Amino acid sequence: MDMIRNIYCVGRNYRLHAEELGNEVPKSPFLFSKPTHALVQANGQEIRLPGDRGEVHFETEFVVHIGKPHQPGMKVAELVDRMALGIDFTLRDVQSELKKKGHPWLLAKGFPNSAVITEFRPFPGEDVCKTIDFSLRKNGEQVQRGNIRDMLFDLQTIVDFASVHFGLGVGDLIYTGTPAGVGPVADGDLLELLWGDEVIGSCRVKLV
């Protein structure tokens, strides 16, 4: 895997997901980040996750890789060179307590192996991606399905926002948000990430 610099994640970018967790639907992009230590490739292997901090939830996401330094006015097609699918693993019980206290989410979002990523493939353009659903199967059963056309904030809005507030350059990743259907994983679960009907990454959960 090439050198990855920053990992940005868009929260609450699908209306039904915001509503399923009882969150207000945002009026502007809501971003948080993960450390690079969180990143792990889904190549069929066992992935170790914390089993002693409450429920660990899967959140399946469309991910873009930034291939050029952002300059004002640049379009998504100029910036994004590759795409992938990912899982934003979340310690849901920990996150709920952090929310109550008004604390940052890092403890719930930034642990090792919390940012699963498939192999990258060339970005075919936003219009093409809107014609293809992405999904997650858990132990052979589809548990999430989404399409970037349903995002509250499109890719252009996201990259512009990220650049203004954080900076955006070569090697940065953006996890663009998860559709409805998130839920817990159990020890031994097999997770498969699909682009259309094609499995492009998988892993097995090991809770420790």
Q: What is the 3-state secondary structure (H, E, C) of 6-53?
A: CEEEEECCCHHHHHHCCCCCCCCCEEEEECHHHEEECEEEEEEECCCC
pLDDT at 19 over 80: no
- Measure the CA dihedral 181/39/132/17, to 10°: 20
Please tell me what DSSP assigns to residue 3.
Answer: P
Please write the tens of the pLDDT for every residue from 65-112.
999 999 999 999 999 999 999 999 999 999 999 999 999 999 999 999
Count of beta carbons in the 10 Å neighbourhood of residue 87? 29
At 107, the amino acid letter reads: L
Mean pLDDT of all residues in 145-160: 96
Tell me the C-alpha distance between 138 and 121, whole Å. Answer: 23
Q: Inform me whether the pLDDT recorded for 184 exceeds 90.
A: yes
CA-nearest of 43, 41, 15 to 30 is 15
Lowest mean pLDDT across 11-20, 33-42, 100-109: 11-20
Cβ atoms 62, 178 nearer than 8 A = no
**For the chain, which residues make up each domain, given as ranges?**
6-207
Q: What pTM value is reported for the model?
A: 0.95
User: Which class is 6-207 in CATH?
Assistant: alpha beta
pLDDT tens digits, residue range 101-128? 999 999 999 999 999 999 999 999 999 9
Do the beta carbons of residue 116 and residue 63 sit within 8 Å?
Answer: no
